[in-house]
A and B are shown apart, each in its own frame.
Chain A
């Protein structure tokens, strides 16, 4: 199993027991109401929120298991996140944003640049390299966030409401792009959404938190 979580996630007052796993090439859609902990799942897997109990494993490596004090730092986890609020670095241009993860993993400047350019081409943003995030439309920003996550070739891709911050016209274009990208992605994907249309269009499995 590429990623499996069995235990209790929680943040502040909120707590919830969960048990699921996702294999390579599969897309798990997680749906649920506000406050049901969808984003917390993403943050827990990424290592930004610790697990309350139980364990989180990926490729037989334990990422987080509070009972046995095992912990892999977020930067050492082979996953990548597209955050709901995107969190692009506002002071870096598009290519620097995309290349950030590669540079952080020790990839040389030239290689990071060429790989980032290739991915930007794939999401259709080739001529946007030197723009700043606040010079882009919502849909374009979403694509940058997607490219930024995919470029580091993660084993687990975490998408938090990838279509929520987008206006209606760009949403249609992204709806076309996403299956194509996810279809060629070799690792496991977890997709958090509140839109049942997304679940049908993109996911193999779904998990409802209601």
Chain B
């Protein structure tokens, strides 16, 4: 008789449920650590919130260890490890939070009623903050990103179709190259476009900026599309093929429509990736103070607006830079939310 192996659905287990007492002990340790951290803060004069955190961060694992000391060396090690992991995570989120808070605080100073609709055509950067605006930079950024999307999305999807659908001989190589391309430094992409588009077509232009962005966007689009296409069930493909459809027809009428929202996610992810790229635009689209939609001329963009205002050293210009950072952050956040909305649609399917 052959050996029968019992098959159970692979349900993830949770061997590490915390008991109530552990939870209480941890809470007590946190509270105690914060209090003692505060006390040290007062005595030694470490600065503010960071000093408090630093004190608490070092004391928390110690207190956790003391609280569990009765339970043997291994339990103590385990609890210290948990405490260190928690502290490590919190330590890295503090600067991230600080970025969001700082940009919001300083950025809102530059805002006035027509900030989003005015440009800097007749306003020097050092002028009072109620004059001028950021409309030209928003329009320029959106325009270049749009053109970059139009260029990179077809190529990204084609690369994904080649890897997943056609399963060509070079599928592994293409995937490898796409991954390598995602590591190209953005300034190098900028230099490349400068050395080709800018030099050949005689000057900085929105076109050049868009081409540079599309190079940086392509790998994100291709890799996400690849993941998305893999979600299409084999049944769907074979049933289309069984009805006599060519593979081309299957891809265009069955596969791509099925995962359309996933491919949109891929495109939006690519947009979110490049909307804040600064370095390549310095070398390609340069900067312009007025609102422009002419793709053959230099054009303003949010990152360069921030970058150039920051370089002036003037107080009002710096405030404008922060205002630009807030708008840019808002844009990134908007595209990020879009990806969440579209990707939640894939899951529901």
Interface on A for B, CB 8 Å cutoff? 11-14, 34-35, 38-40, 43, 47-50, 69, 71, 73-75, 84-85, 104-106, 161, 164-165, 194
Contact = CB atoms under 8 A, between A and B. Distances in A.
Nearest to A36: B6
A12 B9 contact: yes
Given A35-B6, A40-B8, A84-B5, A106 B74 contact: yes
B9 A11 contact: yes
The 7 closest A-B pairs by CB, nearest first: A48-B13, A74-B15, A106-B73, A12-B9, A106-B74, A34-B6, A106-B72
A161 B6 CA distance: 10
A49 B6 contact: no
A35 to B, nearest CB: 7
A194 B8 contact: no
Interface in B243-269: none
Contact of A48 (B3, B5, B15, B73): B15
A73 B75 CA distance: 12
B5 A164 contact: yes
B113 interface: no
Contact of A164 (B3, B14, B15, B72): B3
B11 A11 contact: yes
Q: Could you say which interface size class chain B belongs to?
A: 10 to 19
Given A104-B74, A105-B74, A106-B73, A71 B17 contact: yes
A75 B20 CA distance: 17
Contacts of B11: 11-12, 49
A142 to B, nearest CB: 13
A13 B17 CA distance: 22
30 contacts: A11-B8, A11-B9, A11-B11, A12-B9, A12-B11, A14-B8, A34-B4, A34-B6, A34-B7, A35-B6, A38-B6, A47-B15, A48-B13, A48-B15, A49-B11, A50-B14, A50-B17, A73-B15, A73-B16, A73-B19, A74-B15, A75-B15, A84-B5, A85-B5, A104-B74, A105-B72, A105-B74, A106-B74, A161-B6, A164-B5
B17 to A, nearest CB: 6
Contact of B4 (A40, A75, A194): A194
Nearest to A160: B6
Contacts of B20: 69
Given A12-B8, A73-B16, A73-B19, 6 more contacts: A11-B11, A40-B8, A50-B14, A74-B15, A165-B3, A194-B4
A84 B19 CA distance: 29
Contacts of B16: 73
A50 to B, nearest CB: 8
Contacts of A71: 17, 19
Nearest to A69: B20
Contacts of B19: 71, 73
Given A12-B11, A106-B72, A106-B74, A73 B6 contact: no
Contacts of A161: 6
Given A47-B15, A71-B19, A74-B15, A39 B8 contact: yes
